[in-house]
């Protein structure tokens, strides 16, 4: 089975599937995603997601701990695509990662208005700005 997470493909030999769910051992979870199970939840560096107390994401079966990566993706607003035929799972950006894409800022610039008075984008930070550009080439 192959898991693509953060655009890195990892082969996982001991995953279990049940319908749309994919269950990984904590070791495979760490190897495939960088997330590890801690008392705080599923964590990667300083980022931790608290997990529900029920067995929807973490369960123990015959003394072995399993992590439901598809249910975790649903919890974190992460799109998932899978193909049973090729045993391939793809996990897109989490909702917190997609939100960061909208946080890009335009570089500062200063341009004159029709009367020659200069205006800079820096002076408008924190305000809504509608910027129209045009080029003749």
Share of the chain above pLDDT 90, in %: 53
In the prediction, which pLDDT does 22 show? 94
Residue range 79-84: mean pLDDT, rounded: 89
> How far does CA 116 lie from the centroid of its chain?
46
Per-residue confidence band for 3, with pLDDT thresholds at 50, 70 and 90: very high
Radius of gyration of the chain (CA): 22
- Percent of the chain scoring above 70 in pLDDT: 95
Q: Has residue 33 got a pLDDT over 80?
A: yes
Mean pLDDT in residue range 100-117: 77
Helices (H), 18-118: 26-33, 69-75, 95-101
> How far, CA to CA in Å, does 66 sit from each of 10, 88, 124?
18, 19, 51
DSSP E strands: which ranges in 35-95? 36-38, 41-44, 47-49, 58-61, 64-68, 80-83, 88-91
């Amino acid at each position: 089975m192959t898991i693509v997470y953060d655009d890195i493909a990892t082969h996982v030999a001991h995953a279990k599937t049940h319908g749309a769910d994919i269950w990984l051992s904590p070791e495979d979870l760490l190897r495939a995603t960088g997330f590890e199970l801690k008392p705080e939840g599923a964590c990667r560096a300083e980022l931790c997601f608290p997990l529900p107390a029920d067995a929807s994401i973490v369960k123990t079966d015959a003394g072995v701990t399993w992590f439901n990566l598809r249910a975790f993706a649903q919890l974190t607003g992460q799109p998932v695509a899978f193909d049973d035929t090729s045993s391939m799972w793809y996990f897109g950006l989490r909702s917190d990662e997609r939100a960061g894409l909208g946080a890009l800022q335009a570089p500062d610039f200063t341009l004159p208005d029709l009367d020659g008075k200069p205006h800079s984008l820096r002076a408008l930070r924190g305000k809504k700005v509608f910027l129209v550009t045009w080029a003749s080439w």
